[in-house]
A = this chain, B = another copy of it.
Amino acid sequence: MRKQPRQQRSRQLVDSLIEATGRALVEHGLDHTTTVRIAEIAGVSVGSLYQYFEGKEALVEALMDKLAGDIAQGLRRLPLADSAGLRETVDGAIRFGFAVLHSRDGLYLELVRNWHRLPTNRVADVLQQHFMELSRLYFIKHYRDYPIEDLQVRVFIVANSVLFTMVRHASQNDALLREDDIAAGLTDMVVGYMTH
């Protein structure tokens, strides 16, 4: 951030800009999200925008930081693998994932689609680390001598498979494949892969 907001009004201005960034992403997509548009949506002058942000990228980064917090919080509410069975846990996580992708008018969808040109690492780390920890705990409990290096590979594969299959499905309005079936299939695949 270019300059720290000191007064109340400027802090609110910064918030409204971040909020507006989200709406611009949903309405116009990352490509056509411009600083001018964001300022317009926020009801703020472009000049003011540049007082606090370097540009579009900085705004998106600030937005993603905020969202990463929401995701982390949502993850903490999910059932853990040691209380429920593995299948229930995976199923819950996948349903949570779909719910997130459909929330906020598709904001998350747009962000994940554009992972390769966004500062995705922070968010990805949240997910990656959470699932890593989750599986680590589970496997330490059930298969005490499980090789840990292999676990990293598995978590990488599972996380990306699930995430992008969900995004691909949510991005196309293909009524031929019902979301419930995709969710069930993903659960089958993941549980099978993680336990054999």
Contact = CB atoms under 8 A, between A and B. Distances in A.
Q: Which 4 interchain pairs have the tightest Cβ spacing?
A: A161-B161, A164-B164, A189-B193, A160-B165
29 contacts: A31-B117, A113-B116, A114-B116, A116-B171, A150-B181, A152-B176, A152-B177, A153-B177, A153-B181, A154-B185, A156-B165, A156-B168, A156-B177, A156-B182, A157-B161, A157-B185, A157-B186, A158-B189, A160-B168, A160-B169, A161-B161, A161-B162, A161-B165, A161-B189, A163-B164, A188-B193, A188-B196, A189-B189, A193-B193
B185 A196 contact: no
Interface string A181-195: 110011011001100
Nearest to A161: B161
B192 A196 contact: yes
A186 B165 CA distance: 14
A52 to B, nearest CB: 25
Contact of A153 (B113, B157, B158, B185): B185
Contacts of A150: 181
Contacts of A163: 164
**Chain A interface category by residue count:** 20 to 34
A117 to B, nearest CB: 7
Interface in A63-122: 113-114, 116-117
A187 to B, nearest CB: 10
Contact of A192 (B113, B153, B186, B192): B192
Nearest to A109: B116
A125 to B, nearest CB: 12
A196 B165 CA distance: 20
Contacts of A116: 113-114, 171
Given A117-B31, A171-B116, A189-B189, A165 B176 contact: no
